[in-house]
Amino acid sequence: MKFFKTSGFLTALLLFLSAGISLAGDPENCLLCHKYQRLRGYTADGTLRNYYVDGKLYQDSIHGKLSCIDCHSDIEKVPHGNIEKVDCAKVCHLDRWKALSGTDFSHKEVADAFNKSIHGKKPDDKPEIAALKPDCKYCHLNDLYVLPQDIPPDKVMKRCLNCHKEKGIDQIFIHMSHRMRQKTSRPPLEVVALCASCHADKDFQNVVGMEGPVAEAVSTYKETIHYRILQFGGTDTAHCISCHASESIHNIQPGTDPQSSVHPENRYQTCQTEGCHPGAGAMIASVDSHLSKHKDKGPEIHLAEVIMQGVMFFTLFLLFTLMGMETYRRIKNRDARFFRWLRKPRHLTQAPALSGDPIGKISNLHRYVNFDPKGDLPRYSLHIIINHTLMAITFSMAVITGLPLFFHNSELSHQFINLLGGINVTRMIHRINAAIFTLNCAYHVAVVILGIARQLKNGTFDIKRTQFPLWKDVKDFYCDFRYFLGFENSRPKMEKFMYKQKLHYLAQIWGCSVLTLSGCCLLFPEFMVQYIPFAKVSFNVLRLMHGEESILAFLVIALWHMYNVHIAPGRFPVQWTFWTGRIAKDHQIEEHFLEYQRQVREGVAQCEEEKLLKGESPDVK
415 binds another protein (CB under 8 A): no
| Residues 562-601, interacting with another protein (CB under 8 A) | none
359 binds another protein (CB under 8 A): no
Residue 512 beta carbon to another protein: minimum distance, rounded to whole angstroms: 21
Residue 354 beta carbon to another protein: minimum distance, rounded to whole angstroms: 30
Residue 448 beta carbon to another protein: minimum distance, rounded to whole angstroms: 32
Residue 560 beta carbon to another protein: minimum distance, rounded to whole angstroms: 12
| Residues 173-212, interacting with another protein (CB under 8 A) | 194, 197
Cα-based distances in Å from 432 to 43, 429, 507, 523, 552: 57, 5, 23, 12, 22
CA distance 241 to 245: 5
Residue 405 beta carbon to another protein: minimum distance, rounded to whole angstroms: 10
Distance from first CA to last CA of the chain, Å, rounded? 120
| Residues 119-148, interacting with another protein (CB under 8 A) | 134, 137-138, 140-143
> What track of x and - describes contact with another protein for positions 325 through 344 (by CB under 8 A)?
x--xx--x------------
Residue 35 beta carbon to another protein: minimum distance, rounded to whole angstroms: 6
How many other β-carbons are positioned within 10 Å of the β-carbon of residue 537? Answer: 18
Residue 392 beta carbon to another protein: minimum distance, rounded to whole angstroms: 22
3-class DSSP assignment, residue 43: coil
DSSP 466-504: SS---HHHHHHHHHHHHHHHTS-SS-----SS-HHHHHH
Ramachandran class of 459: left when φ > 0, alpha when ψ lies in -120 to 50, beta otherwise: left
Judged by CB under 8 A, the stretch of 246-254, 309-317, 424-432, 573-581 that binds another protein is 309-317
How many other β-carbons are positioned within 10 Å of the β-carbon of residue 424? Answer: 16
* Long-range contact pairs involving 151-157 (C-beta distance under 8 Å, separation at least 24): 151/177, 151/181, 153/177
3-class DSSP assignment, residue 226: helix
CA distance 5 to 7: 5
27 binds another protein (CB under 8 A): yes
416 binds another protein (CB under 8 A): no
Residue 555 beta carbon to another protein: minimum distance, rounded to whole angstroms: 6
C-alpha Rg value of the chain to the nearest Å = 37
* Identity of residue 492: P
CA distance 434 to 430: 6
Judged by CB under 8 A, the stretch of 114-122, 177-185, 324-332, 416-424 that binds another protein is 324-332
411 versus 602: smaller Cβ distance to another protein: 411
The answer to whether residues 290 and 217 touch, using CB atoms and an 8 Å cutoff, is yes
Give the residue from 84, 86, 83 showing the smallest Cα distance to 66.
86
Residue 14 beta carbon to another protein: minimum distance, rounded to whole angstroms: 8
| Residues 46-105, interacting with another protein (CB under 8 A) | 46, 48-59, 67, 69-70, 75-79, 86, 93
Judged by CB under 8 A, the stretch of 2-10, 294-302, 356-364, 560-568 that binds another protein is 2-10
248 versus 321: smaller Cβ distance to another protein: 321
37 versus 103: smaller Cβ distance to another protein: 37
59 versus 237: smaller Cβ distance to another protein: 59
- The number of C-alpha atoms within 13 Å of 514 and in the hemisphere containing its C-beta is 23
77 versus 155: smaller Cβ distance to another protein: 77
Judged by CB under 8 A, the stretch of 11-19, 440-448, 467-475, 567-575 that binds another protein is 11-19
CA distance 52 to 327: 68
Judged by CB under 8 A, the stretch of 147-155, 208-216, 404-412, 455-463 that binds another protein is 404-412
Ramachandran class of 346: left when φ > 0, alpha when ψ lies in -120 to 50, beta otherwise: beta
41 binds another protein (CB under 8 A): yes
| Residues 503-562, interacting with another protein (CB under 8 A) | 551, 555
Residue 304 beta carbon to another protein: minimum distance, rounded to whole angstroms: 13
Residue 76 beta carbon to another protein: minimum distance, rounded to whole angstroms: 5
- Which residues, listed in sequence order, are joined to residue 40 by a DSSP beta bridge? 50
| Residues 441-500, interacting with another protein (CB under 8 A) | 484-487
29 versus 599: smaller Cβ distance to another protein: 29
Give the residue from 329, 328, 320 showing the smallest Cα distance to 491.
329
CB neighbour class for 226 (10 Å; exposed up to 12, middle 13-18, buried from 19): buried
Q: How many residues are given for the chain?
A: 621
Q: How many residues bind another protein (CB under 8 A)?
A: 88
CA distance 129 to 283: 37
93 versus 475: smaller Cβ distance to another protein: 93
* Long-range contact pairs involving 31-37 (C-beta distance under 8 Å, separation at least 24): 31/55, 33/78
400 binds another protein (CB under 8 A): no
55 versus 168: smaller Cβ distance to another protein: 55
Residue 52 beta carbon to another protein: minimum distance, rounded to whole angstroms: 5
Cα-based distances in Å from 426 to 178, 330, 459: 30, 42, 48
Q: How far is CA 65 from the centre of its chain?
A: 45
Judged by CB under 8 A, the stretch of 31-39, 242-250, 282-290, 379-387 that binds another protein is 31-39
Of the residues 406, 416, 524, 572, which one makes contact with another protein according to CB under 8 A: 406
E strand residue ranges, 326-456: 377-378
Of the residues 101, 182, 248, 309, which one makes contact with another protein according to CB under 8 A: 309
Residue 10 beta carbon to another protein: minimum distance, rounded to whole angstroms: 9
411 binds another protein (CB under 8 A): yes
Residue 305 beta carbon to another protein: minimum distance, rounded to whole angstroms: 8
216 versus 495: smaller Cβ distance to another protein: 216
Residue 38 beta carbon to another protein: minimum distance, rounded to whole angstroms: 5
CA distance 449 to 457: 12
| Residues 267-306, interacting with another protein (CB under 8 A) | none
26 versus 376: smaller Cβ distance to another protein: 26
CB neighbour class for 545 (10 Å; exposed up to 12, middle 13-18, buried from 19): buried
